[in-house]
Amino acid sequence: MKEYVLKGLSCANCAAQIEQDVNKLSGVISATVNFMTSTLQVEINKEFSGDIQKVIETIVHHHEPEILVIDKKALSKESVIIDDDKYKWKLTKLISGAMLFTVGLVVGNLFDLSFYVTLPIFLISYLLLGGDIVLKAMKNIVRGKFFDENFLMSIATIGAFAIGQVGEAVAVMLFYKVGEYFQEFAVRRSKRSIAHLMGIRPDYANLKKDGGITKVAPEDVKVGDVIIVKPGEKIPLDGVVLEGEAMLDTTALIGESTPRKASTSDIVLSGCINQNGVLTIKVTQIFGESTVAKIINLVESAASKKAPVENFITKFARYYTPVVVSFAVLLAMIPPLFFGGMWSDWIHRGLIFLVISCPCALVISIPLGFFGGIGKASRKGILVKGSQYLEALNDLDTVVFDKTGTITKGTFKVTEIQSANGFDKDELLEIAAYVESYSNHPIALSILQEYGKEITKDGLTEYREMAGYGVHVKVTGKEVFAGNSKLMTKMDIAFNETEGLGTKVYVAVNHVFAGCIIISDEIKSDSYRAIASLKSKGVHKTIMLTGDDPQIAAVIAKEVNIDDYYGGLLPHQKVEKVEQLSEKKRTKGKLAFVGDGINDAPVLAMADVGVAMGGLGSDAAIEAADIVLMTDEPSKLAEAMDIAKLTKRIVWQNIIFALGVKAIFLLLGALGVASLWEAVFADVGVSILAIMNAMRVIRS
């Protein structure tokens, strides 16, 4: 995947056309322009020959010659580029042109000056306001490019000059430039919000080396290096605290303002701000794999996965402008040729069609609405990997939950030890601890914690994990099996099935049943709120899947009011069950799977919407899930649904408003009722209002 920054990209319609042209290239698998971050992502196959960047530059300069195409890897910082000097120069010309236009109107009316006296004033004003528009239009015509906003505005205003509507021509260009300014202001504000998010990226790391501290780039720090984080500094890389104690501001990561305490042995994530104290941290991830890098990458690339309505608008805009321009030509020529009437009157009506024909209101406001929704979600600790997944949340019919680490805390504790066949409880616990000493599974860790003694692994041989069953290992020559009841049955070991409530680990030594250890998990308090909220928002069915004992699943499902449950499932059976549930969901309904993102990657990937819980440290979660909840709160999914509903409502408001107003003014223009001034409102005014409406998502 190649990624380029398009510095100077300011036209949403041009962005859509660039994306379309790059996708047509032979050897390009997919290409997506993210207008909000001014980036282009291109995936090419191995057969592609030549310099892809030069090919892209040729395409980009065909649409916008002033855009610079920069390889993102060449940038040391964020890809959101905001050109302030260019923006200020545009504002200066706008103010100067507006003042001259006002002088021309006032002086001409006060002193009743002739047309030829005020004409130079209006011409200078027009050149200040629209000189760059006309120049771009001429360059585009030479390159064979028509039907962009520069061409349409140039033809409309020059046509107004030709039929003697000088003041109206300048006014149209003035209003267009004012609207363009506000459009750019809105887009710049959105880009600044992205840049602010990118501000979680740390600038440096204090590397402890050779008895001293050196300030280095985070990319230069390796796993195992030791860094120092002082008060007020961002933690640059993920790691474990070796020394010190501090309160951390985690707002940028999980959207919660309450500081979290970090002390010796605690895992800390990059992007958090150290509020007090000095922390000595051992780095566990390189910068490219750190939490902050994952967040930045997710938010930057989110707009590359477009919602169906965005794709529809892109295709609609491709045909809308040529069709309206064709009608404009017909309207200007057919009536006076065949039905009589003044040519200037019908040309004026045709010019109104030209002004209204630009689809900018839709092309800008709809992606802006979705991007605002994605940005709002990220501020609340919900990372959405694309607008298509945000839109899918509006149609959630079935939500399937994993149990451990999702509905329950996943912090297991040994609650009962039942020995058998001459083994005592201490001996049974010791054997189980040795067997589980190679595993990082929460159940294994709880057994090790209960045992509480140091384990020497010298006597452990032939260790083998049996997926969905348990573990086989030889302990000082004795063959030991530890796992669920299916393991005992599989190995043909006679055992007593316990009735205790909790996860059961059955242990057998040399094919003799030694007993059972029961481990219990605790339900998250947030799980109750999550299920209730989802049902109140229209989710038809909630289901829990688990590899745990069906009896435990039944108790937990009833406790949190989950509609249905399936226990004792192997990993592949979870996938099969989700496939079955997906077939049963209502028409057009979506199925979401919510899991811890570590063992549930296959299910996360195949669900309509895969939601990873607390998956910041898990590569599997980032890769497989469509949405990542940065905390361990399943109720965040309900919050994401609220954001999705608000985003959808605003997007459709903009579609109906923009198309409705344009349709009305096209009709009024054809009937000779609307003027060019009003046509500008139908184009630029609608764009401004639609953009302001879209920004409600960002501000809310």
Number of domains in the chain: 5
The pLDDT, as a whole number, for residue 617 is: 46
Sign of CA dihedral 122, 128, 132, 135: positive
Q: Are residues 534 and 556 in the same domain?
A: yes
Tell whether 30 and 116 lie within a shared domain. Answer: no
**Catalytic one among 148, 225, 402, 608?**
402
For the question of residue 402 being annotated catalytic, the response is yes
Among residues 264, 293, 322, the one where a domain terminates is 293
Kindly give, in sequence order, each residue whose CB lies less than 8 Å from that of residue 367, ignoring residues fewer than 6 positions away.
Answer: 12, 35, 36, 303, 306, 310, 387
Q: Which residue range(s) make up the domain with 231?
A: 205-293
- Residue 636 near residue 610, CB atoms below 8 Å: no
Question: Bigger pLDDT: 536 or 445?
Answer: 536
- The answer to whether residues 224 and 279 belong to one domain is yes
* Cα four-point dihedral sign 345, 349, 352, 354: negative
CATH no. for residue 51? 3.30.70.100
Same domain, 549 and 591: yes
* pTM of structure: 0.69
Lowest mean pLDDT of 183-197, 568-582, 624-638, name the range: 183-197
* Distances from the Cα of 618 to the Cα of 289, 390, 443, angstroms: 10, 22, 19
**What are 281's two structure tokens?**
């941290």
The string of pLDDT tens digits covering residues 129-184 is: 888 888 888 887 887 766 667 777 788 788 888 877 788 788 878 877 887 777 67
Let me know whether 124 and 266 are in one domain: no
Last residue of one domain, picked from the residues 145, 167, 201: 201
Asked whether the beta carbons of 274 and 203 are under 8 A apart, the reply is: no
> 154 and 180 in one domain?
yes
Over residues 393-404, the mean pLDDT reads 90
Q: Which residues pair with 413 in a beta bridge?
A: 520
Instruction: Give CA–CA dist 578/582, Å, rounded.
Output: 6
Q: What is the mean pLDDT of residues 192-204?
A: 64
Calpha distance 485→474 (Å, rounded) = 20
Is the domain of 443 the same as that of 552?
Answer: no
Distances (CA, A) of 197 to 248, 255, 373: 18, 12, 14
Same domain, 667 and 567: yes
Given 139, 172, 201, the domain boundary residue is: 201
Amino acid at 338: F
Same domain for 567 and 691, yes or no, is yes
Residues 621 and 652 in one domain: yes
Name the percent of the chain lying above pLDDT 70.
88
Banded model confidence at residue 60, pLDDT cuts 50, 70, 90: confident
Looking at the structure, do residues 562 and 590 belong to the same domain, yes or no? Answer: yes
Same domain? 213 vs 329: no
What's the CATH code of the domain at 282? 2.70.150.10
Q: Higher pLDDT residue, 160 or 611?
A: 611
* CA 481 distance to own-chain centroid: 45
pLDDT category of residue 327 using cuts at 50, 70 and 90:
confident
CATH code at position 307: 3.40.50.1000
Q: Can you give the CATH number for the domain in which 460 is found?
A: 3.40.1110.10
pLDDT band at 81 (very low <50, low <70, confident <90, very high): very low
